[in-house]
């Protein structure tokens, strides 16, 4: 197993000004990468997996905020049709990136490795067939020019409970919590079992899983984007060392559900930004 777990201590101490500077610096580099993708007919596919509320969608928003719209796609597939369920890889082949394009996948073909078996949306035969074929299928994609990165956003059980509660009580984001989401949350141990099986069998030398601790969404976004930029070659690459964080700055501000909170101490700021998708 070639699982990659990243050291996030470089972002351990976080303040708003340093976060904004780092975000800008990394987004400038990502735009350079996209221009290289366009110029050299490249295909980048970036899959975001993880439990509900892990921060996948907000990370994609963070990545794509300043990219050239016509040269990236956001992919979030709904419930598969009967045909799609029995032709799983063909379903996903339709949404893979074209040349000159970056595709961000908000969940991927790996729903068949975790969510579907946990929720009984697929049968044992379909699950086994997927697990037996996926590595060869990915190797074929890569051999044909698709540059694949697989992120898994990981969070603690306690942190997920807090985010579920915050989402449920939010007047702006309650709709993000479906009845199905609430069912999945009750199956934490089963989800963990299938996740570990997925890592064991599908984190290969050529296509490893990259595990991002997302208990703090802001740090998770920075860590994931910096990893992508570090591993990927592109013209005019200039990836500097991370900015220095400090806890000494007073009077923090943070936004949650569009409401600005000012004059926060560091602990209050960290508590709010763990839940915020607004930054």
DSSP assignments along 91-159, one per residue:
HHHTTS--TTEEEEEES-GGGGTTHHHHTTSS-HHHHHHHHHHHHHHHHHHHHTTEEEEEEEEE--HHH
- Would you say the pTM of this structure is higher than 0.85? no
Three-state DSSP class for 7? Answer: coil
Q: Enumerate residues 6+ apart whose C-beta is below 8 A from 272.
A: 254, 256, 261, 264
Read off the pLDDT of residues 38-48 as tens digits, 9 standing for 90 and up.
Answer: 999 999 999 99
What the chain holds in terms of domains, given with CATH numbers, is 4-250 (3.40.50.300)
Looking at the chain, the whole-number percentage of residues with pLDDT higher than 70 is 80
pLDDT band at 248 (very low <50, low <70, confident <90, very high): very low
What is the β-pairing status of strands 252-256 and 259-264?
antiparallel
CA dist., res. 54 & res. 214, Å (int) = 6
The per-residue pLDDT for 279 is 45
Task: Inform me whether the pLDDT recorded for 145 exceeds 60.
Answer: yes
CA dist., res. 216 & res. 254, Å (int) = 14
pLDDT band at 250 (very low <50, low <70, confident <90, very high): very low
The per-residue pLDDT for 255 is 63
Three-state DSSP class for 1? Answer: coil
């Amino acid at each position: 197993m070639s699982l990659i777990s990243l050291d996030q201590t470089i972002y351990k101490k976080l303040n708003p000004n340093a976060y904004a500077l780092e975000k800008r610096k990394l987004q400038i580099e990502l735009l350079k990468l996209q221009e290289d993708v366009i110029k050299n007919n490249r295909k980048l596919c970036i899959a975001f997996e993880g439990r509900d509320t892990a921060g996948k969608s907000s990370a994609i928003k963070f990545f794509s905020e300043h990219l050239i719209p016509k040269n990236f796609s956001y992919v979030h597939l709904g419930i598969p049709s009967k045909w799609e369920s029995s032709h799983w890889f063909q379903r996903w082949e339709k949404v893979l990136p074209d040349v000159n394009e970056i595709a961000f996948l908000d969940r991927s073909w790996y729903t068949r490795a975790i969510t579907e078996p946990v929720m009984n949306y697929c049968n044992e035969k379909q699950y086994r067939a997927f697990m037996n074929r996926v590595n060869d299928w990915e190797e074929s994609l890569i051999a044909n020019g698709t540059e694949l990165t697989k992120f898994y956003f990981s969070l603690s059980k306690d942190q997920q409970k807090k985010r579920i509660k915050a989402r449920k009580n939010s007047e702006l984001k309650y709709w993000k919590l479906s009845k199905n989401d609430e069912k999945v949350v009750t199956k934490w141990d089963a989800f963990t079992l299938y996740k570990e099986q997925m890592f064991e069998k599908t984190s290969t030398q050529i296509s490893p899983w990259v595990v991002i601790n997302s208990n703090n969404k802001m740090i998770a976004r920075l860590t994931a984007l910096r990893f992508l930029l570090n591993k990927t070659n592109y013209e005019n690459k200039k990836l500097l060392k991370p900015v220095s964080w400090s806890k000494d700055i007073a009077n923090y501000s943070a936004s949650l559900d569009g409401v600005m909170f000012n004059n926060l101490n560091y602990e209050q700021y960290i508590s709010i930004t763990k839940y915020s998708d607004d930054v």
